Amino acid sequence: MFRSMLVRSSSSAKQSLLRRTFSSSSVPERKVAILGAAGGIGQPLALLMKLNPLVSSLSLYDIANTPGVAADVGHINTRSQVVGYMGDDNLAKALEGADLVIIPAGVPRKPGMTRDDLFNINAGIVKNLCSAIAKYCPHALVNMISNPVNSTVPIAAEIFKKAGMYDEKKLFGVTTLDVVRAKTFYAGKANVPVAEVNVPVIGGHAGVTILPLFSQATPQANLSGDVLTALTKRTQDGGTEVVEAKAGKGSATLSMAYAGALFADACLKGLNGVPDVVECSYVQSTITELPFFASKVRLGKNGVEEVLDLGPLSDFEKEGLEALKPELKSSIEKGVKFANQ
């Protein structure tokens, strides 16, 4: 089973149950398309999805270099058949029949590039890809990784609305990397096994809009206010930490691919009817006054089954929630405006 391959479970009984549940003979055929599969996130994500026994068909799309990635990954002796598609002319074939579309397409921020430069490039890419999804696989679940997620998810929603194909239950901003980081950093400070840690992360997927709820972390550890403040800041700045460590030569590609694969696995389980699959994701929401918000979501056969409420927040988290709202609101509005230009 995919997650237990990546995270060692403490319970062998649980593992054997998962193996029985997901023996490849009993799971449905599922086509997964990755748009941007030859990029820094796309290649390791393609590898991880090839290892997932829930995937029967893996469709890899990019504007260049996809045949090589597909040939390489396609030699791995796991269930899914792999096909690589390259260029605009082949986008329709890449998408047709997809149950799940994952979008890591776009460019990372390079030295000298402003956030507006990055926004305009990636927003344009997302706009075009979502127009094609609406046309060729309108009922697929869509997992948005392309940054800035706070804006690209609203862009996708607007494009789907224009095509008359918007289903709020099927569009997800992937914020799993924030959860993965929060778990890792918390486990280090709390001195508990990281595989047993859970930390919900709410808000958005950039800077101060990322709000880990360490007051709800399990197992509970008695950490001081200063430590929790530092953990929150480190989770919010996780992307910058990686960019600086790579000295301008890259961003968080491997950890993002891992997080993207975890969330895709949860979506596939939901589609297959596995009960009580709950993950944090940035979705259309009425939990706050903002139209999009990341919180815990129960996944099912139609995508979002239920957006769960935030639960009790500490005073520090309540302040963080109010502080993030203007920034997130502005990012959402920026995406809507771009889509409607």
Which residues contribute to the annotated binding site for substrate?
109, 115, 147, 181
Residue 178 CA to residue 180 CA, distance in Å, equals 6
CB 260 within 8 A of CB 142: no
CB 162 within 8 A of CB 191: no
CB 21 within 8 A of CB 83: no
Catalytic one of 205, 234, 269, 334? 205
Q: Residues marked as binding for NAD(+)?
A: 36-42, 62, 122, 145-147, 256
Closest by CA to 254, choosing from 265, 269, 238, 267, is: 238
SS (H, E, C) 208-272: HHEEECHHHCECCCCCCHHHHHHHHHHHHCHHHHHHHHCCCCCCCCHHHHHHHHHHHHHHHHHHC
SS3 144: strand
Q: Tokens 């398309």 belong to which residue?
A: 33
> Active-site residue 139, yes or no?
no
C-alpha distances in angstroms, 246 versus 180, 239, 252, 328? 19, 11, 9, 28
The runs of H, that is alpha helices, within 163-224 are: 176-190
DSSP string, 54-92: T-SEEEEEESSSHHHHHHHHHTS-SS-EEEEEESGGGHH
Q: Residues marked as binding?
A: 36-42, 62, 109, 115, 122, 145-147, 181, 256
Closest by CA to 1, choosing from 16, 74, 336, 10, is: 16
Please list the active-site residues. 205
